[in-house]
Structure 1
Amino acid sequence: MGSGGVRRSVVAVAALGSLLTVTAVTGCNGSPGDGPDAGAGGSGSTAGKAGRSTAPADPTRIPGVGDRLQQRIPGDSSQVVAVYGDGKDSADSTVVLYTKQGSAWHRARSWAAHNGKKGWTTDHHEDDNRSPVGVFTLTDAGGVLPDPDPAAGLPYTESGAFAAPRSWAESHWHDFDYVIAIDYNRVKGTPPNDPTRPEGSSKGGSIWLHMDHGSGTSACVSVSKSGMEYLLRTLDPDRHPVVVMGDRANLEA
């Protein structure tokens, strides 16, 4: 674990009932929109297409990302989670992990994924069911399950408070077994389910990488359990990981 990776272990006991209520309000863009009504977009894989081009690749750049967003990737970042949305109004996407060696970026792993059920937006607001386009840091993680590798990775908060409400369809009960907070309208260094929103509630929040349920989300990005476990073991605070996310047209702009 890097020097920034102080581990957190928060297990809800007596207050679990009230914490679950808070989670239902604040988890993944502040509404239970990742629940039973979140289905749009299907689960087709595009992992073979993400970040690939017929033009010769520049190894010093993240594939498929134009100057506008490329310049927002911090110079000290050597881990990028790129989310390639199939289209502006599509819930299907591909997550690719890139790692930097010297000045060159290398494609490490990729997974089929989902994003907001209505697609993407450059001006995200609460309950618009679209994922925000942009570059965001990744500093905190957590979930219902224990940290898959307590000796490495991002600071992790284990808590039953992350559990999806049992009023949701059973296929959604494990959505938040693992989550990685996307630092959109949140306070870094706090658990992912901290409800503080510095830009105000109308801008949405609690946007996470979390486990996939096979269809679109409220605004989060979802990948398989194995994908989440790999990211949790691999993302290193000392390497300043970020997520670059959006539909392909906006990413390339």
Structure 2
Amino acid sequence: MPVRKGAPALLSAGTLCAALLLTACGSPAAPPAPVPTPTPTPTTAPADGAHPAPGPPGRAAGSITSAPVPEPGLPGVGPVTHASVPDGTSQALVVTGASADSPRSTATLYARDPAGGWKVRGGPWPTHNALRGWTADHTAGDLRTPIGVFRLGDAGGRLPDPGTLLPYDRDDRFAISGTGFAGEPLEGSFDHVVAIDYNRVPGRSPLDRERPLGAEKGGGVWIHVDHAGPTQACVTLEIEDLRDLLRALDPAREPVVVMGPATELAR
């Protein structure tokens, strides 16, 4: 089935005014006491070679240090979701769902620049996801796309490799026929696919059917060619956008897909 992986408190106006009144109001100040005139004290020049005792150490000019500035995170991805992105990953496809129950989403490819954080390297591209939207607990046949962070490591399709660095399995078994949920033809949907590492064995063809979490948790969740309608659990891209993605993905950069509705990804 084409279907995982503060801000400081501000004083209120009243509190601020009270603080100012307490500072400015009080008992009348007494006149200042006269300051005694200091009596000169004879000094003796130090002997040759003698030096005044050093005072307490001070901070040299320019030695002030500041805390490192945190690297900007993936746009639209909050700290909880971002914590699941592997440390070695420097490519991420972020698929942002319009809502929890929507079959429409947007995909953007980012690459990590050590000097400036994550930068857009592809998209944004319009996408479809599952008919009923998204879920954090996917099961076979629920017509929802898994939410989470999943590796992208294997590709394939009915058509020849368009030039990806990922392992690519060209096989006629990727052929498909029939119609989708909107009555649209499904032919050509698997001309190119990228396997999402949800309930599958990495390093194998997307056609492999072993399900480590059990068959009831679904599987065969791919990024494949868009057929102008919702999917059972997969994410789709227009064919030229998918080819661009395939040519961009580099296994040495440990690519992942970060996917889910916008409200969940922002956590």
**Bin for the TM-score computed over the shorter chain:** 0.7 to 0.9
The DSSP-based 3-state class of the residue aligned with 2:80 is: helix
How high is the TM-score relative to the length of structure 1? Answer: 0.75
Q: How far is 1:219 from its partner?
A: 0.5
98-107 vs 221-230, which moves further? 98-107
The DSSP-based 3-state class of the residue aligned with 1:127 is: coil
The DSSP-based 3-state class of the residue aligned with 2:185 is: helix
The residue type paired with residue 203 of structure 2 is G
Q: Which residue of 2 aligns with 1:160?
A: 172
The percent identity for this pair of structures is 43
Structure 2, gaps ≥5 residues long: 5-69
The residue type paired with residue 161 of structure 1 is R
Q: Which residue of 1 aligns with 2:261?
A: 247
The DSSP-based 3-state class of the residue aligned with 1:28 is: coil
Q: Which residue of 1 aligns with 2:105?
A: 93
Query: Are 1:175 and 2:189 matched, yes or no?
Result: yes
The residue type paired with residue 118 of structure 2 is W
Q: Which is greater in Rg?
A: 2
The residue type paired with residue 248 of structure 2 is T
Structure with greater helix percent: 1
Match of 2:148 among 130, 134, 140: 134
Contact 1:115 1:220 in 2 (8 A): yes
Deviations 1:49-100 (A, max 9, x none): xxxxxxxxx8620011111110110111110000000000000100000011
Q: Which residue of 2 aligns with 1:107?
A: 120
Contact 2:92 2:257 in 1 (8 A): yes
Contact 2:3 2:145 in 1 (8 A): no
Deviations 1:137-178 (A, max 9, x none): 0010000000001xx421000001011135776721011000
1:56-95 mapped onto 2 (5 Å cutoff): 60-95=72-107
Q: How far is 1:225 from its partner?
A: 0.4
| CA RMSD in angstroms, aligned pairs only | 1.6
Residues in 1 aligned to 2:2 and 2:228: alpha-carbon distance in whole angstroms: 18
The residue type paired with residue 153 of structure 2 is T
Q: Which residue of 1 aligns with 2:216?
A: 202
Query: Are 1:123 and 2:98 matched, yes or no?
Result: no
Q: How far is 1:246 from its partner?
A: 0.1
Residues in 1 aligned to 2:2 and 2:262: alpha-carbon distance in whole angstroms: 26
Contact 2:198 2:221 in 1 (8 A): yes
Query: CA separation of 1:166/1:87 partners in 2, compared to 1, >3 Å: closer, same or farther?
Result: closer
The residue type paired with residue 103 of structure 2 is A
Number of positions where the alignment pairs a residue of Structure 1 with one of Structure 2: 198
The residue type paired with residue 3 of structure 2 is C
Contact 1:27 1:193 in 2 (8 A): no
Query: CA separation of 1:167/1:80 partners in 2, compared to 1, >3 Å: closer, same or farther?
Result: closer
Residues in 2 aligned to 1:27 and 1:130: alpha-carbon distance in whole angstroms: 12
Q: How far is 1:109 from its partner?
A: 1.6
How high is the TM-score relative to the length of structure 2? Answer: 0.71
Contact 1:28 1:218 in 2 (8 A): yes
The residue type paired with residue 119 of structure 2 is H
Q: Which residue of 2 aligns with 1:14?
A: none
Greater relative CO (CA pairs within 8 A, separation 6+):
1
